[in-house]
Structure 1
Amino acid sequence: MGITRRGRYDLDRLWRKVEESHLLGMNGPEDLTRIASVIMDGLGVATADEAWAVLVGDFRAGRRGTRRSGERAGTTIRMGAYLGHVGRLSDERARLELCIEAIRFGPRDPALHVRLLGLAYAHDLHIGATEPSRLEAELALIDRVRETVAPDSPEWRQLRTIRGGVRLHLGVLGGEDDFDAAVEELADFAGADEIDAEARAAQRGALAILRTHQAVRTADEASLAIQADELAAVLDALSPENRSRLRFEAAREHALTSARLIRDRKGLPVAPDVRPWLPIGEVLRQVRLLPLDARPVALCETGMARMHRAMAEEDTDVALEAVSLVEDGLALLGPDALGWVTYTFQLGWGLRWIAREGRADRYAASLLDRSVHWLSRAIEAVGGPEDPHWADISMETAWAMRLRAMCEPAVSNRAGLDAARRTGADALYAAVRTVFLQSGTDHAAWSAYSFGNHALGVARWCLADAVPADAVRTLDAGRGLALHAATVRTTVPEMLRAAGRPDLAAEWHEAEAHAGAPASAPGAGLPTGPLGTGPSSRLRRKVLAALENLPDWERLWDVPTPDNVGAALRGMGRTALVYLLPGVDDEAGAAVIVAPGGGVTSLRLPGLGVDVVEAAERRVGGGRSRDVRDVLAQAARDMGGPSVEEGVGGALARLCGWAGRVVMGPLLQAVGAAEGRVPSLVLVPMGALGAVPWHAARLPSGRYACQEAEISYMPSARLLCEVAGRRPTGVRRAVVVGDPTGDLEHAGAEARAIHRTFYPEGTLLGTATATPATVAGRVARQGGGVLHLACHGTVEAGRRHSSYLKLSGGRLPAEELTEGASRLRDLELVVLAACRTNVSGHGYDEAYSLSTAFLVAGARSVVGSLWPVPDDATSLLMYMTHHYLNREGLPPGSALRRAQLWMLYPGRQAPPGMPKEMVARVGRIKADDLIGWAGFTHLGW
């Protein structure tokens, strides 16, 4: 029983009145409203939320834990389903509370339990209803009910759909593994036989929308074309009056436009879009035919799809019409709706684009004011950096603020420029949280993909505003985020124990221990990500909450200061850390130079422009896949270089000439030589500049850069500082692997010679013996030292395993080095005498390669390659690297440089002890053949 303003009411009697009203017919939204009115009248209240508050309040005031309380909870849930159709129910937590009571203490009827879960979940979701902790509790309750339901029954399939919906919302909160798992669960149910054809088509359409999101995330234009065709088929199956038509039409528009943009970015042919625009008046007419509750989303979705297409076609007039549709939809939707953040974000982005691209400059300031307004509202809705969308929205806000400040006279816009820089930097720092939340490297790299370009943009602002020190921190904030997340990951258990959460530390260890295990392996039920990629995003979210306020945790999110970088440079004996920034539009490229004392200077490089960089990026598909030989050849040709017939060697020579003239010549002159020694530079090339072998740049003097300086590479200052803190182990033994697949003759001879000459007490593994497990086991038993791998290397861009070494009977993927708990720690040096081992399969600015993965896994130095290398020349270069390392005691970077100089010298001589077979090839190496030596790079100490 309960008390209302009218006095007492009987819950069971009220429910019977609801059931009687239900028998009068259920043909549309108006019938739901009629039944909700029966409930409100029976309780003597005016609104649905007031009715819900009375029902929930009386339930909470009554006795709990009885069959009667379970029955009352179930009845209240069913009433809430009607009330939720006519108004927002503010006490969303009550739904889960009621479900738990009904399932634990009410009738033991699995079918009823499934219906109650469906009613509790299928309400008008809003931002506050998607708290991760509540969604996790819903999943736990669903799994409990699932244990009582017969597999393959209608209730089982319905439960999978409910569970998929909850996981989908967890995915929206930043866990792409949850999103992908949810799509598969929902796909299992789509097209169930017990629903009518139109409902089945609508399910297929909803699934196509989700798969479109996945395809956009992974830049898969082929999948987008498939989803566009699927949505066309869905539209053919729907009746003209179906309320979902506009939504599916907008989704198809979005898929087609996205596929077109991706093909354009990859340099693939793009057919002109000849489809006519639906007149805006017809769009509005169709919207007015929809029920009131369907109009806001229809306006927003249609407006966003039109906006994206208009932007692709550079049509600002249509884009302005699209903006008006979205604004009209938002006026009807309300700021607590679940789609509010997405729509306001897209609206702010569209307004900024129109202001930048439109020809009416006098309107730009007004458009940018509107852009900042909507983006600020989106930021307010998501709350703070703990929300995974905060970084993207804040970055877009920074761009709009920057453009708005530039509309003002130069004498009065300083405050606006400063605010834009701060907002952009904050967004980049927050991006680390989003990347860390992902369960595997592929998801992490997808999440980090856009932030490299954002970092370049904000860094250019810093240089333009004469604050180069800020440029350093900004550049590093967008670099190698997946690598940084993998580095942070190793410190998590210790911090959890310090925070008083040994339970979470143990859970984390368990998930790490099963990283890499297939889903069917023992322990697959642990909270790991897809295919056992380590801790799932759900576990990571709990860890983030537990460690939120620890000082060490904040330090791990931050980026090094110039003083931190300077200290690392001093410890490693380096002359400078140099970021290379490509130019864009009318802006010149630049070098940002950090000195050992922590001072920062910048060097303008006018020729470092988009004529090379954009050509290379188009060639490699926007940075997601590449064959570096093609990149170099295409870049050289686009500069007016050699023809295709001249070959890769000629193209590489031309590119190295450009690199010396435009970059390395001015840079070496600016840095200067230290007294008594050559400069020692650490380069961090941004964007497509990572494909250029800067150490092989041909200077105006005719000498190569490596003849004037020692040049190493690092993916980021973060990793530089991390590696600088690693102390040598003193182990000199080696594990040497040669020709494990039996098809690299010189690699086998190289390994045998290196083992016999330099590491006779070490381990030699060859064909049939160099399995992944054996290599890892021998390195672990050795306790450090050297690992030399002469074998095949492969890069498969965007795949789960983006790069790997081919060993005997298996692979050693980069992801296994960074995701698993068993890492190859304490190695002094890893030599990857294989093809493309310093090429990233996850985009240039992620710099995630086999070389950088070994650094994250614990190595102090790594030698890797930029392109497929010739077997014979490589074997000589590698032998000589170990010669200088062991016979002359040089550190790895210096040893590689000396070996490359040896290759460059026409009068080179074989050192004593070199095997006769190698000696015979020494004179056949051409000094001007860059392919044979220039592809190898050094990273680390």
Structure 2
Amino acid sequence: MRQSAIAAGPTRRGVRPADTGECGVDKEYDDSGDRASVLRAWADMATRQANEVMRRPADDPARTAALWQTIQHVAAIEKLLPADDPLRDGIVPSLGILMCVWLDSRGPGQQRDAARQAREYTLHHLRWADRTRPLTDPLAVQARKALLWLLVPEHHARAMRALRHGPRQEPPLRASGPQPLTASTRDELAEAIDVLKRLAEAPEDPQLLRLLGFVVSEIKLTVPEAVAPHEENTAEPTGTAPQEDADDGLDDALQAVFAWALEDIARFTGLLLWLSGAVYEVRISTEKADEELAVLGLDRPVFAPLRELLAKLRSGEGDPRVLAESARRGADIARRALRELPADVPERARMAKLHAALLLQANFLVPGMMDFDEVDEAVSEPDPDPASRFGGPGQVTLEQWLTSLIDAVRVQQTGDLAHLERGTARLREMIDGLSGEGEKAMPARQAVASALAGRVNAAAMLGGSFQAADAALTMARELRAAYRRDGSPPSRDMVNAVVFASQQELALARRSDDPTLLPRLVEELTDLYATLPSDQENRFAIAATLADAHQEQSARNQDPAELRAAARYLRDVVETDERRIAALLAPYFPAVRATAMIQLIMIEPSREAADHAVAEVHRILEGPQPTPYQELQLRYQLGRALLHTARHLDDPGLLDQCITELARVRELMAQGHGLPHNVDALTQLSEAYWLRRERHRPTAVEDVNASLAARGEALVRLASDVLLQLGSEHGLAVARTGAAQALWLAYWNTVIGRPADAVDALEMGRALVLRAAAASRGIPELLEARGHPDLARRWRAEVATDRLPSDAPDPLLGRSTERQIPGTLRRRALDVLGAGSGADARRLLGPPDLAGLKAGLTAAGTDALVYLVLGLQPGQDGLALILRPDTGNAPPTVLKLPLLTPGSPPLERYLDATARRSQATATATATATPTPTTADATAEPSGQAAPDGRWEAALRELCDWAWPAAMGPVLAAVGPLNRPPRIVLVPCGALGAVAWHAARTPYGRNGRAHRYACEEAVLSYAPSGAEFLRAAARDRLPIATGQVLVADPELSLLWAEIETEALRATCYPDGLCYGEFLTAVSDAPGTPEDILAVLPGGSSPAAAVLHISCHALVGPYPTRSALWLATPPDGPQDAGRLTVARILDGTATGQPAAAGPLVVLSACETDLSTRNHDEALTLSTALIARGAADVIGSRWAVRDASTAVMMAVFHDFVTTHGLAPVDALRAAQLWMLDPHREPPPTLHDDLRGEAARIDLDQVHLWAAFTHQGNPAAQSTV
């Protein structure tokens, strides 16, 4: 029961005041005596205090304590009031209501005796109000509602659910709460009926009357004779009501079966086994079912009505609703008989199982009919008679199977994650109890393991965690392997295992883009499908999975043959005979068939097929109580297909219908029924509105606004999905779809004159993984502040420093070890913080507004924050959004940039050449044999010269293009200053691969051929405005704090060793040296653990300067880009790789320190991502997120010798001249460009010769390095 149920029922008001508006104070009372005046003032104060407490949110951790303090306050006043004092008319009912709310909010650990005493105290006050106050007194009405709940809490809870969701439908999502104080006695039921009558006389309130009608119906189920034959002014609820007058003999038949529970236990158990096992079997004829039942003992005339019912349930013949209603009525009869039994009699557990089995039968016919609160706890108890128990030692018992089945149905219908966890724990206990190696032991373990894997998969779907999805995949693979090892012909269970594993593999292929998964999957399923007989009961599931796999293949390779194959399998699904499907799956098959029809429209769009699919979906939705999740999925799939068909056929009618379907999906999501990763539904709705707007219809303006709003909601919900992930790789798998959303939204907001909204869209959709990592650090503190220290502790444990994922599978077929479902902790914590849904996640992620960004620019002494955005389609102009400090409420400046269009030749040629060069570099590095004593540091690896030549030409062309495309106009817009402007760039999409500081114009100075952007401005880069703010607020550690210099541990880069020793000799004489050296002694091997230790959040004090000279390569996924460091002794080959994921995921909880180090990555491609550019996940940005103040990284593979010279010059500017890293990098690059450059006096002798080279001004030698982090000019000295 929640506050609304106690204090106001469906009116959702708190402790309601009396007629004058205050809780229990009669304003007409007057007494000139001092005592009366004091009491009145005290009562007024208590009333205000009570109202304030009741207005607090129910989940406020301080609410219960404040409530108890208020109760003591009011109780003290009551004691002082004479029996005839008019103030009692308000004080007594108020005290009863407050006590009722307190009882509802009590913890489960309360002592039973104390709880009973508190209940009696509350009843005394509420009964006084019920007896003495008028029927129409508002406060008395609230007291009677509270009294009704206290008398019949179970009945009231079921009535409230019926009021909200309709009779006999599923409980609300994640419905939970304290157990009732006590079961209602017959006297309390009778008293409740009297209270109901008085409530019915209250001022007319239709919603209250409906609630009372539901309460009456629930009480009738328990003690029908306690209800008067006619209750005036109470509305009889629609839906399932007990058919008390039905005289079809079912009651007598069941009573005869009930007698078996005591007199013929073996026969009773046989019937239970038949009922429980039938749901797994294919339907049979009514005649054959009747024969089975006769063998079970239902052959006498008295059993005829029950035998007829059960035979129809087994065959599935007849109207499902009528059959379900009859099964429901049988369950109600069993329920009433069960309530008559004492708690300690042996037949109680047997009767509870029969009741549950009948409920399940009804629910499989009409999903949603089952009220889970009706299931008696005795259903999970073993039979008191060991000789009557099903299953021997180490086998699954009947009560275990029934409980597991009930758990599965409940989760499927309600999405209750808390119950899912409890059910999963029971399954793990079942696995722990299965022992032995007998003939039945392994099948039993496989069956329970399959159920467990299904629960973990449900957790992944409901909770949204890819960690749970990975666990489900591991389990599925093990189950599939176990059936393969068996070598038996394909069975139902084997096919189920293959389907389940294939669905997990398909999900992995979709989120990982692994090109090897789908071909193997299609081959395996095709072979299996060919071997199955056409009437095999779950052959349709193989066909549906094959269709999905072929469609995914087609989306990747654009092969029409893949779509033809998918269509063939989809037709097989549509034509499947429902009679060949097990009862357990039969209720869900119509949705599977409808989904196949919808997918066929995507392949072969036609108006006729669309109309048929619409009719089928609506037939299902108008049928027996689909859950909101089923409705959402069906409408989403249908809306998506209708959008495709409307676009293909140019059919405005289908487009309107599409919008109707997807708008309903949006409503369901807003009501809390949206599953994670349903963002595409909002994207499709946005596209539908936009398409309708393009038809120039009268609703064009409204459609534009609706489209932009839906796309904005999609971005926020996507951010929520990213927050649910543990680890950057899983976060990236979710976040990568946000880039297109953000760019689309930013572009069109700018076009229609909303540049501020455009910036907001970019901030919401870019760098989501980095932002989620930053938000996650502060979550433990937020949980503690909200009164959840245990969740905070578990959160910290889950994201422990440098946590590495384990590849060890859960021992499904042996003993279970992991008790918690992976990923559910984050869902629970975010729900507690109110960030489990998209709208609230925005608050937790905290994207900055314009005012915050401008304030950050001012604080950092930065002149502009510039977003560079490509056009959406070839031929569309790109744009720049420029934010300036000290511009008040002015919107961002917008620059149209015609050359920033997708497919621009210089950009495309550069991206292609970079990809080829990176691949060649990776191959050469992986196969090279280190020969440090003879290596020519400036020579190209074998086979590398040709790719490098093409790439260098493409780079020069790109730099020529970058000036007119963006940097020239941006620099002009920022305006001439008396100093080079400080600009932070946020390049979006593929523009993130461009070295914008190297953009050049052919009008050079001092006889030079070109002038570069870095000559005109101090340029820094940032993944987003939010990341800029985080870095700009971070101070720099004083250099004297300590330095760590890391050389190549493989000695394959000769100049890396020279570079490191030169820096120690000239700039950092007290610095530590890590790595391998030919002559010097290393202070540490330079493993990833060594480096992480000296980074912020590490086990050692953070170094003020960390300079790393080693190999680094960009990975196939941004999270796998890595520094190649020393491999720990006895470690695997890749243990020396320090990846982006490990840097991010190994961060300790808690926010980074106020000051951070300078990290220099004198290595290849450390500030480059080859894909998912808008996530800006590079080694440089990961280190900033880890807590570095500044990071110098590279956009491409750099030359060893020239890099060593430039790094020496850079560090000289930092240490000798005291420049900030961003200014030192610019100074070093200008030094490289200067044809009259002079080596710094401190330059090491080994580098002086290289410094005299005349080609150092070549763009590929100096422009690779970029600055990320704090753009301010303050030094680190």
Please tell me whether residue 798 in structure 1 is matched to residue 1106 in structure 2. Answer: no
**Superposition deviation, residue 861 in structure 1:** 1.1
* Displacement of 1:377: 2.5
For each residue in 1:294-323, what CA deviation from the matched residue of structure 2 results, as whole angstroms up to 9, or x when unmatched?
652343332344345x3xxxxxx5365664
Residues 68 and 739 (structure 1 numbering): CA distance in 2 closer, same or farther, change over 3 Å?
A: same
Structure 2 CA distance for aligned equivalents of residues 63 and 561 of structure 1: 65
Match of 1:815 in 2: 1141
Quote the Cα distance in structure 2 between the aligned partners of 1:713 and 1:923.
30
Amino acid at match of 2:826: R
Matches within 5 A, 1:438-587: 438-513=725-800, 515-517=802-804, 519=806, 536-548=822-834, 555-585=843-873, 586-587=875-876
Q: 2:991: which partner in 1? A: 689
The answer to whether the 8 Å contact 2:1167/2:1179 transfers is: yes
Q: Which residue of 1 aligns with 2:433?
A: 148
Higher mean C-alpha deviation, range 68-77 or range 136-145: 68-77
In structure 2, what residue type is equivalent to 1:449?
A: R
Q: Normalised by the size of structure 2, how large is the TM-score?
A: 0.65
CA deviation string 1:41-78 (max 9, x = no partner): 69999344454555567657866587654444333333
1:28 aligned residue (282, 300, 308) = 282
Q: Separation in 2 of the partners of 1:40 and 1:251?
A: 38
Q: Deviations over 1:695-750 (max 9, x none)?
A: 11123533111111121111111211222222334353311112222211111111
Other-structure match for 1:658: 961
Instruction: Give the Cα–Cα distance (whole angstroms) in 2 for the partners of residues 386 and 331 of structure 1.
Output: 19
| 2:512 aligned partner | 218
Partner of 2:951 in structure 1? Answer: 648
Which of 334, 337, 341 is the aligned partner of 2:632? 341
Q: Normalising by structure 1, what TM-score?
A: 0.86
1:404 is aligned, of 681, 685, 692, to 692
Instruction: Pick one of 920, 923, 929 that aligns with 2:1252.
Output: 923
CA gap of 1:789–1:404, structure 2 versus 1, over 3 A, is same
489-498 or 53-62: which moved more? 53-62
In structure 2, what is the Cα distance between the partners aligned to 1:276 and 1:536?
36
C-alpha RMSD of matched pairs (Å) = 4.0
**For residues 496 and 763 of structure 1, do their structure 2 counterparts lie closer, same or farther at Cα, with a shift above 3 Å needed?**
same
Match of 1:352 in 2: 643
For residues 997 and 793 of structure 2, the distance between their equivalents in structure 1, rounded to whole angstroms, comes to 46
**Alpha carbons 2:1021, 2:1266 under 8 Å: kept:** yes
The answer to whether the aligner puts 1:748 opposite 2:1064 as a matched pair is: no
- The change in CA–CA distance for 1:815 and 1:538 in structure 2 (over 3 A counts) is same
After TM superposition, the structure 1 stretch with the greater mean CA deviation from structure 2, 601-610 or 770-779, is 770-779
| Contact 1:439 1:536 (C-alpha < 8 Å) held by counterparts | no
Q: Does residue 189 of structure 1 match 2:479? A: yes
Aligned to 1:766: 1075
Q: Check the 8 A contact 2:1166/2:1180 in 1, yes or no.
A: yes
Tell me the secondary structure at the aligned position of residue 396 of structure 2: helix
- Distance in 2 between the 1:904 and 1:322 partners? 66
Does the 8 A contact of 1:68 with 1:106 survive in 2? no
Instruction: Give the structure 1 partner of residue 680 of structure 2.
Output: 392
Contact 2:467/2:730 (<8 A) preserved: yes
Please give the alpha-carbon distance, in whole angstroms, between the structure 2 residues aligned to 1:205 and 1:618. 44
Q: Which residue of 1 aligns with 2:895?
A: 603
Q: Give the corresponding residue for 2:498.
A: 204
Is residue 2:1091 matched to residue 1:775? yes
Q: 1:479 to 1:21 in 2, by over 3 A?
A: closer
Which of 212, 232, 252 does residue 526 from structure 2 map onto? 232
How many angstroms does 1:496 deviate by?
1.0
The 2-side partners of 1:905 and 1:600 are apart by 36
- 1:462 shift after superposition: 0.3
Return 5+ residue gaps in structure 2 as ranges.
1-220, 224-241, 262-266, 294-303, 311-321, 581-585, 812-816, 922-944, 1004-1009, 1077-1083, 1129-1135, 1271-1277
| Counterpart-to-counterpart distance in 2, 1:726 and 1:766 | 29
Shift of 1:256: 2.2
Q: In the superposition, relative to structure 1, how do residues 52 and 697 fare at CA in structure 2: closer, same or farther (>3 Å)?
A: farther
User: Could you say if the C-alpha distance between residues 274 and 515 of structure 1 is closer, same or farther in structure 2, counting changes exceeding 3 Å?
Assistant: closer
2:745–2:758 contact (8 Å) kept in structure 1: yes
Output one character per residue of 1:135-166: Cα deviation in whole Å (capped at 9) or x when no partner: 11211222233322227633222111111001
Q: Could you tell me how far apart the structure 1 residues matched to 2:339 and 2:876 are?
A: 65
Q: Matches of 2:780 and 2:430 in 1, distance apart?
A: 33
- Tell me which amino acid in the other structure corresponds to 1:140: A
> Following TM superposition, by how much is the alpha carbon of 1:435 offset from its aligned partner in structure 2, in angstroms?
0.5
Q: Given the superposition, is the C-alpha separation of residues 88 and 419 from structure 1 closer, same or farther in structure 2, using an over 3 Å criterion?
A: same
Report the CA distance shift for 1:384/1:61 in structure 2 as closer, same or farther (over 3 A).
Answer: farther
Please tell me the residue identity of whatever aligns with 2:1047. G
Using the TM superposition, name which of 647-656 and 71-80 deviates more. Answer: 71-80
Confirm or deny: 8 A CA contact 2:1166 2:1179 kept in the other structure: yes
Equivalent residue for 2:1047?
738
Q: How does 1:263-342 map to 2 (within 5 A)?
A: 263=557, 275=564, 286-287=575-576, 293=587, 296-308=590-602, 310=603, 318=605, 323-324=610-611, 326-334=613-621, 335-336=626-627, 339-342=630-633
Corresponding residue SS for 2:513:
coil
Unpaired stretches in structure 1, ≥5 consecutive residues: 265-269, 311-316, 526-530, 632-641
Q: 2:679, 2:718 within 8 Å by CA — same for their partners in 1?
A: yes
In the alignment, is the contact (CA less than 8 A) between 1:326 and 1:343 conserved in 2? Answer: no
Is 1:431 equivalent to 2:718 in the alignment? Answer: yes
Determine if contact 2:468/2:823 at 8 Å carries over to the other structure: yes
Distance change >3 Å, CA 761–CA 58, structure 1 → 2? farther
Percent identity over paired residues = 27
Question: Structure 1 residues 132 and 293, CA, compared in 2 at 3 Å: closer, same or farther?
Answer: closer
Q: 1:120 aligns with which of 379, 392, 406?
A: 406
Q: Distance in 2 between matches of 1:31 and 1:397?
A: 46
Answer yes or no: is the 8 Å Cα contact 2:993–2:1169 preserved in 1: no
**1:375 matched to 2:662:** yes
- Cα deviations by residue, 1:297-352 (Å, 9 ceiling, x for unpaired): 343332344345x3xxxxxx536566445434423433427554333223222322
How far is 1:86 from its partner?
Answer: 1.6
Displacement of 1:90 in angstroms is: 3.3
Question: Do the aligned partners of residues 658 and 103 (structure 1) sit closer, same or farther apart at CA in structure 2, a change above 3 Å counting?
Answer: farther
Give the letter aligned to residue 974 of structure 2. Answer: V
Change (3 A) 1:535 1:75: closer
Task: Name the counterpart of 1:904.
Answer: 1233
Is the contact between residue 1087 and residue 1125 of structure 2 (CA under 8 Å) also seen in structure 1? Answer: no
State the distance in 2 between where 1:748 and 1:225 align.
46
Give the distance between the partners of 1:876 and 1:44, measured in 2 at CA.
85
* Partner-residue secondary structure (3-state), 2:1159: strand
Q: Are 2:424 and 1:139 equivalent residues in the alignment?
A: yes
Letter of the structure 1 residue corresponding to residue 709 of structure 2? R
Which is greater in Rg? 2
The CA deviation at 1:616 is 4.8
Distance, in Å, in 1 between the alignment partners of 2:916 and 2:360 is 52
Q: Name the structure 2 match of 1:528.
A: none
3-state secondary structure, aligned to 1:215: helix
Deviation, 1:91, is 3.5
Check 1:390–1:21 CA distance in 2 against 1; reply closer, same or farther (3 A cut).
Answer: closer
Greater Cα offset, 501-510 or 140-149: 140-149
Match of 1:636 in 2: none
Question: Do the aligned partners of residues 367 and 668 (structure 1) sit closer, same or farther apart at CA in structure 2, a change above 3 Å counting?
Answer: farther
